[in-house]
Chains A and B, each alone.
Chain A
């Protein structure tokens, strides 16, 4: 029977969440298209990973090789291009992550299989694969048809599908001999570098004020610091603020920063790109202040203010200050 591949992603001994999200979606698609859901894991001593994956797939293919322990696109591509050419899965899913982004385009090009990246949904409509992607910083969705082919590669945005913990599927674990014979010639993994521990743990704070590019100028930082202090919260930010070095990297919220779940998140001048939303959308209460009524941040917020932040912030600061004084 034809297979549908889900490529497991792991790092430093842990399977990454996106893998189970993909397996959940993969299961639904496999059922719809009467194909077998196969999880693929490349690694070293990957037995434990395989056991966990077996709960979520009909079959788990394990390729064991010390050279596959840490992700190296060159080695991974060699293994996967052979595997896909031999077994011809109808579809191969992987995460649109630092892993998938480094691997999928070259793999698809080598195999001459169509690739759709950063998808938030996909479906087979008859024989045609259609995908939904988000463009223009999350302001517009596109439904696109993928050119007809005997197989496809699709990368899926993380945290798009929710993992379902259904009854374990008891998938069969099959170990395949590593096809890596020659040396990995061009590319070497050297080491991981951990981010330095920050001064404050933003994941522990109850109230966060998140600031974005909308604050425009470093001169406006004190105003934002004051708002955070008045509220008794911590100032955090979107990526551009760290890129400009207005705040240190440990204050960044999002996929390449921290994931937070405070009681209160006030987003000020943040558009709401998915990389930011992933890091904060599960906060208990979200208030967004943005002058653009169509900013994607409003799609995850509880309350919104469509206004120039420079009109709102000073007034908000004094109101909160008054309220706190009245309270004490």
Chain B
């Protein structure tokens, strides 16, 4: 089975101090740590497990700057056979739609039975690139998948719906599947794997090689233009309990006692 996995190199923001930069349209990224997008981590693992079971190969692909190489190398170390980075000055500022167009140009030239992406990216959270890409390629798709099986030219997948309900869907291959977290247990990279991956080639393709025009990608080729960023409003005014750990936990206990909760 020939599998292509689309990967995004994203900043880790759950624990980081995020500040909006002077332009008001971006966040400061200098001090942030970048890594593989959480959902893509599971997508890559699924691809590698399918390859191990069914044979074939895995190609990891990303749109972005050279900095994404560390993530691509991690993919190689974890079992991807090839890595392709789609990079061009003209791609900067691409939204989900423009990103899907770039991936489409690269993927349509390659052999594939299955394309995997994450269900969404943890940074801009469009949850859109995979399904848009499927439509551009003219292949069926299923989103937020927690289980994948194959028989003949059919993929049988469990989609995760709200409240823990799942829907079982059958699709003809080739197909595109967006992967939900928890579908597998992403493996750790072995030291050996990292060493080997260092010398592997990362193929780089730009606007010209992909036969794209400047106005199809980047800001010009996007549906969305950022006007400004701001801190979300609060829904409730929180009272922050200050003091030493001991003082704070006394306060919590007092609150719970006053409310009859202990």
Contacts and interface: CB of A to CB of B under 8 A. Distances in A.
Instruction: Check if A and B associate.
Output: yes
A164 interface: no
A323 interface: yes
Nearest to B181: A243
B67 to A, nearest CB: 18
A281 B160 CA distance: 22
Contacts of A303: 238-241, 252, 255
Interface in B160-174: 160-172
B125 A281 contact: no
B210 to A, nearest CB: 18
Contacts of A299: 232-236, 238
A205 B7 CA distance: 40
Interface string A184-195: 011111111111
A320 B238 contact: no
The secondary-structure label for the interface of chain A is: mixed
B159 A98 contact: yes
B91 to A, nearest CB: 17
B46 to A, nearest CB: 13
Contacts of A70: 167
Contact of A140 (B158, B167, B231, B255): B231
Given A136-B27, A186-B140, A232-B262, 11 more contacts: A117-B128, A130-B227, A186-B139, A193-B158, A206-B261, A213-B14, A285-B255, A294-B17, A301-B238, A316-B253, A324-B262
A206 B122 CA distance: 32
B13 A136 contact: yes
Contacts, number: 271
Interface residues of B, number: 83
A183 to B, nearest CB: 12
A229 interface: no
B262 A256 contact: no
A98 B225 contact: no
A72 B159 CA distance: 11
Contact of B223 (A116, A192, A311, A323): A116
Interface string A124-144: 000000110111111111111
B246 A187 contact: no
B247 to A, nearest CB: 10
Interface stretch (B47-55, B105-113, B129-137, B196-204): B129-137
